[in-house]
């Protein structure tokens, strides 16, 4: 509709400003209906078409202001992708890769121990590699969570609690080696955080569920298999197979969520790199 160039141009600008929203087509369709209804009303009382468009757009508001209102959350934040959320996405993808490295290294260590019948240099190295992968992954998970918080424009009290627990877990991991202690803190933080994210419904749901449930699933698998006394019993009275299956469950499910959420953040075009974008000015 070339004769409604002002309205069409406005809608195009608005579409660009809210392109990161899942329902961008619905939003633009709704605004389009409003703007054309208003122009038709002006024209019906004899207003010149160009003037009708100007008056309509004056009443509707600057596209940056409207886009900003559409991005505002109940916490007062602005839920848009930025260069930081994109970087956090990369951290998330790497944390997923490292999470897979963890069970591989520990499995190789335990297999080696079973074959040699002793805990020696190879086993210690494998265990250390797995542990380093886990620590690095945990730190990167917190970076991902900060990015997700930014992308959601804040996640309220649940988000703060989740992020706080996860961050505390990571700090404890670096100063005290008690995996069930800090693992439970990190896992609970991720679970609470995922619930807060699901309530906001911005990120992909399946990846969010995997992100939040990975640690919990791993713990449940470990405790159930241990209670059922699955596999052999080592000299400490533990069940290495239950431990390994639990770690694999935790790592694989978490990795699916971490890589998925990381890829999602990476795939979005940042809204803060173009100076003409509305969010930089309003």
Partner 1 sequence: MRGQALKGHLDLLLLAVLADGAKHGYAVIDDLRERSDDAFDLPEGTVYPALHRLEKGGYLSSDWSVVQGRRRRTYRLTDRGRGALGEQRRAWDEFSDAVARVLKGSPWPSTP
Return residues touching partner 1 (CB under 8 A): 26-27, 29-34, 36-38, 59-63, 65-66, 69-70, 72, 74
Task: Kindly state the smallest distance separating residue 60's Cβ from partner 1, in Å.
Answer: 5
Least separation, in Å, of the C-beta of 25 and partner 1?
A: 9
Tokens matching residue 137 = 């992954």
CB of 28 to partner 1, least distance (A): 10
Nearest to 145 by CA among 265, 20, 251: 265
CB of 17 to partner 1, least distance (A): 11
- The residue among 66 and 134 lying less far from partner 1, judged by its C-beta, is 66
| CB closer to partner 1, 116 vs 282 | 282
Burial of 73 (0-12, 13-18, 19+ CB in 10 A): middle
Task: Decide whether 58 or 235 has the Cβ nearer to partner 1.
Answer: 58
Contact 147, 159 (CB under 8 A): no
- Residue (140 or 203) nearer to partner 1, CB: 203
CB of 10 to partner 1, least distance (A): 10
Nearer to partner 1 by Cβ, of 51 and 69: the residue is 69
Residue with tokens 């795939």: 267
As beta bridge partners, residue 78 has 72
- In order of 12, 29, 31, 112, the CA distances from 84 in angstroms are 26, 30, 30, 42
State how far the Cα of 195 lies from the Cα of 198, in Å rounded to an integer.
5
- Closest CB 191 distance from partner 1, rounded Å: 23
The nearer residue to partner 1, 55 or 131, going by C-beta atoms, is 55
């Amino acid at each position: 509709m070339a004769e409604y160039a002002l309205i069409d141009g406005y809608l195009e600008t608005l579409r660009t400003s809210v392109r990161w929203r899942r329902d961008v087509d619905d939003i633009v369709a709704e605004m389009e209906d409003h703007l054309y209804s208003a122009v038709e009303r002006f024209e019906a009382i004899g207003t010149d078409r160009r003037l009708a468009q100007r008056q309509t757009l004056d009443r509707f508001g600057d596209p940056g202001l409207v886009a900003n209102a559409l991005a505002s959350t109940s916490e007062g934040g602005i839920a848009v992708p930025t260069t930081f959320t994109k970087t956090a996405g990369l951290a998330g993808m790497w944390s997923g890769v490292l999470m897979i490295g963890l069970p591989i290294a520990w499995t190789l260590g335990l297999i080696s121990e079973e074959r040699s019948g002793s805990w020696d240099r190879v086993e210690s190295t494998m265990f250390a590699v797995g542990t380093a992968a886990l620590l690095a992954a945990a730190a990167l998970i917190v970076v991902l969570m900060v990015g997700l918080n930014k992308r959601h424009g804040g996640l309220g009290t649940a988000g703060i609690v989740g992020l706080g627990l996860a961050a505390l877990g990571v700090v404890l991991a670096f100063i005290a080696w008690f995996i069930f202690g800090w693992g439970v803190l990190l896992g609970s933080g991720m679970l609470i955080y995922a619930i807060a994210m699901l309530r906001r419904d911005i990120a992909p749901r399946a990846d969010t569920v995997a992100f939040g449930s990975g640690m919990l699933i791993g713990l449940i698998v470990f405790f159930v298999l241990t209670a059922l006394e699955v596999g052999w019993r080592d000299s400490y009275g533990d069940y290495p197979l239950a431990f390994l299956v639990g770690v694999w469950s935790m790592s694989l499910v978490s990795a699916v969520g971490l890589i998925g959420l990381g890829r999602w953040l990476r795939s979005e075009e940042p809204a803060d790199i173009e100076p003409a974008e509305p969010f930089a000015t309003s």
